[in-house]
Structure 1
Amino acid sequence: MKRNRSVSTFRCIAVACLAVASGTAVAQAANYPSRPITIVVPFSAGGGVDAMARVLAEKLRTTLGQSVVIENKGGGSGMIGAQAVVKAQPDGYTLLMGSAGETAINPYVFKTRMQYAPQTDLMPISLVVKVPNVVVVNPSLPYKTIDELVAYAKANPGKVRYGTSGVGNPQHLSGELMARQAGVQLTHVPYRGASNQLLDVIGGNIEMTFVSLAGARQFIKDGKVRAIGITSQGKSVLAPDIPAISDSSSLKGYSLENWFGLFAPKGTPAPVIARLNGAVVEALKDPGLSTRLRELGGNPTPMSPDQFAAFIKQDAMKFAKIVEDAKITPDN
């Protein structure tokens, strides 16, 4: 009898604790935010993630009624900044503007070198933008379409060199997916930053590069490079005049986009996540913000936390297969 009473007492205490915790979470949401919010960008200032995070932060300041500060924590292919957020207090005041790399690709490239597990240590808030890459080549080269590029690559195995901004990022995976889907041999040349990639295409040191639309737009406009395809599924509203790689006869269905989204540390109360999601969705409905994000090469794509989680899981499976098939490691 005493044992049954003890068990009953324990259950009552546990229920009471859960009720208090639930009440605390609701109270936190009701008062949230009551102080400035920090969005960690896991890359240096001036890049695509940073630029879009700052544009979003400006709008969130109005939507949430609090200051939103951007903090750049670059290094480790985005993992240093992401890990800092994982270790932060799960109270909604330290968030991550993450890209596909450190949240969906790196676990398969860096494996045991990673000190966090994105799909369990980070809570998705909302996808912010999808960011397709564009394939550009030197205008003097003999191929003007993706199909012509593929034909040339088949006739000249390994002679088509493509530049990216690093090993294991979406640009690199875009090239590996193209090579495997088309059955050609391409040579990967990693760089530090888009400007060097583009300059080497212009100078003839490499044949092509995968790069963000924002990074390539002026070079395309000036005729210094030729855009022959975009990596989105079908033509992109961001560049309707550039054909989709997926529409070529040799790469039907091809699709691989980078994306940026907002995350919180594991354990952040659900009401706070819901508040943040609502604020992001509302911000992305603003025509001025949407226009600015498109100018920066991103297509606004808000999602619910559950939708974003499902999206990440699906994309991660796709990335994992490319990394495995291409045997991508941090050293290649």
Structure 2
Amino acid sequence: MGRIVLYVIVAALIIALIVKFFYLLVAGALGYWAYKQFKKNQAKGSKQTLTYILGAFAGLFLIFFLGSLPSEPANQTEPIAVVDMQEDSVSKSETISETTDVIATSKNSDSKEIQTQEPQNKNNRLSATLIEVTDGDTLKVKVEGKEEKVRLLLVDTPETVHPEKEEQPFGKDASNFVKKQVAKGNMELELDVSERDKYGRLLAYVWIDNKMLNEQLLEYGLARVAYIYPPNTKYVDQFEEIQKQARAQAKGIWSIENYVQDNGFVEPKLEVKEPVVVTQAPSVEEHAEVKEEPVVTNVYYKNCDAVRAAGADPIYAGEPGYSRKLDRDGDGIGCER
């Protein structure tokens, strides 16, 4: 019984080889026949007409065999699209521009891999290791053994290292917050459709232990929703909802009146009212008004050193210039000694 099974297996293998290499076997048989005919006719001195015919058929079947071999389809990629995107800050060695060209790198429809050969995992995220926190919305990381600059998508924090701007209120707070968060756990970068800006920086949503850093900056009032440029709009709706809540609670950047503008952050200027000028001696009732000192409105203190320099310490809730930034323990009294 075992021998019969063996014969069946051998016969099946032979049939499979014959089917797979049918054209090659026929070409070989015809070629061998042509060779033998050639020798025979040569010995007799006969014409080689049959030999030529057999050789032609052998070559034809060889071509059929070669044509039946599978060929690998070439990878096809979509054309590269160019999108204009406005950016806020670059390093001193980079040219500052109001608009930034973002190159949208297409993804292969089969492999779902970015064409710059940066592999993505099943969650569409890249594992990264922090090198440096440049600013509240800019990082340096290592991805797949390569150093990369990363710009957080859809958010904008006040400046701390801009080559043409001074440090802005809450800029250092945003930077320190990012440093604290990225030290908590594993970092992953989630890319949107457009992968890089013209400076070569990766545009990403940054995840720390499955918490998105972009969202946290908005939640604590340390960033505004900005630079909304399709196709990178995956989370824009939920970002705007988070910003709406932070603004309603006057958190961080929203605690300074008119500080957040559509084009960025504008520090409030001190507005001084001119003293009242009279042309005749005031009455008793008017005396206090005439001697009234110039009134300063929209007062802003950068820190407690500025409060003390102005002689306004301690500063109480409701007084000009008071903000939660100056009142760390939240008891309504800022810059206590």
More relative contact order in 1 or in 2 (CA 8 Å, sep 6+)?
A: 1
- Identify the structure with the greater helix proportion: 1
What range is the shorter-chain TM-score in? under 0.3
Q: Which protein is bigger by CA-based radius of gyration?
A: 2
**TM-score normalized with structure 1 length:** 0.27
